Amino acid sequence: MIAGSFTRGQPRGLDDGRAVAVRSYSAALTSFWLVCVLWGLRPSVLPAQDPVASGVRIGLTYDRSGKPGVALTPVVGANADSVRLILGRDLDFSDRLTVIAPDSGDAPVGGLNYVLYARMNAVAVVQAAVTPSGGLHVSVHDVAGKRVISVIDVPLPEPALSPDWRHAVHVVSDSIELAVLGQRGISSSRVMFVRGNEIWSVDADGEGLRVVPGTVDGLSPAWSAAGNMIAYNTLPGAGGPSKIVVRDVLTGRSWSTRAAATNMNPAFSPDGGQLVFAAGTDGFDLYSVAPFTSDEPKRLTARKGSLNSSPTFSPDGRKIAYTSGILGHPEVYIVDADGSNADLLTSSGFGDQLYRSNPSWSPDGRLVAFQSRINGKFQLFTISVRDKSARQLTSEGENEDPSWAADGRHLVFVSTRTGTKQLWVMDMESSRARQLTHGGKVQNPAWSPRLDFSRQY
C-alpha cells in the first residue's frame, strides 16, 4: 500500500497481531494511515551486466487493434529451454507483442527465410544462443527489411538459473523490446511486498520469490528512481522509536531520520536529492529532508489535527500528490514540492463514498492512480492531472494499493478476486490482468524501476 488508511478502525496493511501492537503504542494510531512493505539488502553487482547492443531499431508503435508478432526461434546452448521460456514469457507479459514460438523444431542455420516469417505475421525474429563461454548472444531481425537490426551480448553469471542468472536474461528481454518497439521493457524490475511480518520480493514475471533479510517489521517502502536506494519506516516499539531509514543498496550504507513520534510513507524525489515522508502524533504532516545529511526535516504542510500522508512525486519533481483528511474524509491533493499551492485533485465522481486515497503518480506524468471505496470495497481508478477526468480500472473483488511500473502502462495492486489478497498486474492498454503471487495473503506492493544491476540476497 502506498499509504495506510482509515479502514475498519485500524491502520491498513497490518495483520491483526501487528495492529494490536500499534494500538498498544498509541490509541491515536487507530485512526491513522500506515503503509506496510519492503526491504533492505545489499546486492552483488554484475560488471558488464548492461547488454552490448548494436544496430538500428524498427521502432514500432503499439496498435490497440493488434500486437506485432515476434518469432522466437529455438535457443541453442546450455539451459537453452530455460532461456527461451524466460524470453518468451517476458515478451508476452509486455502486452505489446505477440510471441510466435513453436513448441518443436530446430534452430535455423544460416540465413533466415524472411518470407516464411512474414507469412507467420512476424515483424521481427529473435535468435538466441548460450555461448561456450557462458554468455547470451542474441540477434534481432527486421523481417520486412530482411536484416539484423540489433545484436545483444550479455554475460550469464554462475551458477545457472540463479537469481543473478535470471536477472541477466530479463535484461536481454528488455533490450529486445527496445530494438523492436523503441522502448525498453520492464522484465528487469521487481516488486516488493509484505507477507506475514516479513518483506518479500518477486520478479516481474512472478518468479524468483524470496524473503528480503533484515527487514522484519519494516514498513512503507520506496525506491529511488535510479534503483540504487530504498527507504522505509519502522514502527515505534521494542526496536526503538519510529524512524525513516534509507539504504544505499550498492554500498550498504544506511541513514535514518525522524520528525515526530511516528514517521511513515517515505517517497524519493526523482533525482534522489529529497525524501518526503509523513510524520506526527496528533495528526500527520508532510516533511522533506535530503538523505544522508545532518539536515533537520522541513515541514511542508501545516494542517493541525488532519492526516496528510502517502506522498508521491510527479516525474519532474515539481509536484507531490498525497492523501489528506482536511475535509473530514480522505481525498487526493496535489501540492508544489515546497508545500505551497495545495489543490484538490479527486473532487467528485469516484465512487459512492467519500474515500479516495493512496495515490501513485504515473511515470509519464499524465495520470495519478488511486483507490476509492464503492459499496464498501476499494476499487482502482486513474485520474488525469490535466482535466481531472477519471477512469475506473477494477470491479471484481476488492482492489487497492496501486503502484506503477517504469513503462507507465502497467500497475501492480492487491486484489481479493481469487479469494485471498494477492498481487495482480494490469496492462492499462488492454486491461489484461495476471496474478503475480500465490499462497499466503500479501499487501503493500512497490514496483521498482528497471534494474541494470543484480540483487543477490
The pLDDT value recorded for residue 251 is: 86
Name the domain count of the chain: 2
Say if residues 171 and 165 touch (Cβ distance below 8 Å). Answer: no
Query: Could you count the other beta carbons within 10 Å of the beta carbon of residue 89?
Result: 18
Nearest-angstrom CA–CA distance, 158 and 160: 5
Q: What is the pLDDT of residues 64-106, one digit of tens each?
A: 447 999 999 999 999 999 999 999 999 999 999 999 997 767 7
Do 62 and 35 belong together in one domain?
no
Across the strands, what pairs with 324? Answer: 308, 331
Say if residue 166 is in the same domain as residue 262.
no
Residue ending a domain, choose from 165, 181, 197: 181
89 and 125: one domain?
A: yes
52 within a domain of the structure (yes/no): no
**The last residue of a domain, from among 166, 181, 196:** 181
221 & 306 share domain = yes
Q: Rg for the chain (alpha carbons), in Å? A: 23
Distance CA(350)–CA(244), nearest Å, equals 32
Backbone angles phi and psi of 310, in degrees to 5: 60, 50
Helix (H, G, I), strand (E, B) or coil at 410: strand
Which pLDDT score, from 0 to 100, does residue 238 have?
59
Burial of residue 105 (CB within 10 Å: 0-12, 13-18, 19+) is exposed
- Same-domain pairing of 294 and 194: yes
pLDDT of the chain, 457 residues: tens digit per residue = 333 333 323 333 344 434 333 333 333 333 333 322 233 333 333 333 345 555 444 544 444 447 999 999 999 999 999 999 999 999 999 999 999 997 767 777 778 999 999 999 999 999 999 999 999 999 999 999 999 999 999 999 999 999 999 999 999 999 999 999 999 999 999 998 888 877 788 999 999 998 877 777 888 888 999 999 888 888 877 578 899 999 888 888 999 999 999 999 999 999 999 999 999 988 899 999 999 999 999 999 987 778 999 999 999 999 999 999 988 899 999 999 999 999 999 986 565 578 999 999 999 999 999 999 998 999 999 999 999 999 999 999 999 999 999 999 999 999 999 999 999 999 999 999 999 999 999 988 999 999 975 554 3
Quick one: which of 295, 257, 254, 312 has its CA closest to 279? Answer: 257
Residue 48 falls inside a structural domain: no
Q: At what angle do helices 163-181 and 80-93 cross, to 10 degrees?
A: 50
User: Is residue 51, in this structure, part of any structural domain at all?
Assistant: no
Residues 135 and 107 reside in one and the same domain: yes
Report yes or no on 148 lying in a domain: yes
**Residue 275 sits in which domain range?**
7-43+188-447
Of 257, 192, 212, residue with least CA distance to 36:
192
* pLDDT at residue 225 in the model: 94
pLDDT of residue 1: 34
Predicted pLDDT at 343: 95
pLDDT at 58: 52
User: Does 101 share its domain with 121?
Assistant: yes
Q: pLDDT (tens digit, 9 = 90+) per residue, 421-454?
A: 999 999 999 999 999 999 999 988 999 999 975 5
CA distances (Å), 143 to each of 132, 330, 397, 399, in order? 28, 53, 43, 42
Whether 66 is in a domain gets the answer: yes
Q: Are residues 407 and 365 in the same domain?
A: yes
Same domain, 272 and 329: yes
Read off the CATH number of the domain in which 87 is found: 3.40.50.10070
Q: Are residues 195 and 327 in the same domain?
A: yes
Residue 27, φ and ψ in degrees, nearest 5? -60, -25
Q: Tell me, yes or no, whether 146 and 92 share the same domain.
A: yes
DSSP states along 224-292: -TTSSEEEEEE-SBTTBS-EEEEEETTT--EEEE-SSSEEEEEEE-TTSS-EEEEEESSSBEEEEE-TT
Cell digits of residue 218:
519494516
Q: CATH code at 311?
A: 2.120.10.30
Q: Which of 402, 398, 404 is nearest to 418 (CA)?
A: 398
Task: Answer whether residue 25 is part of any domain.
Answer: yes
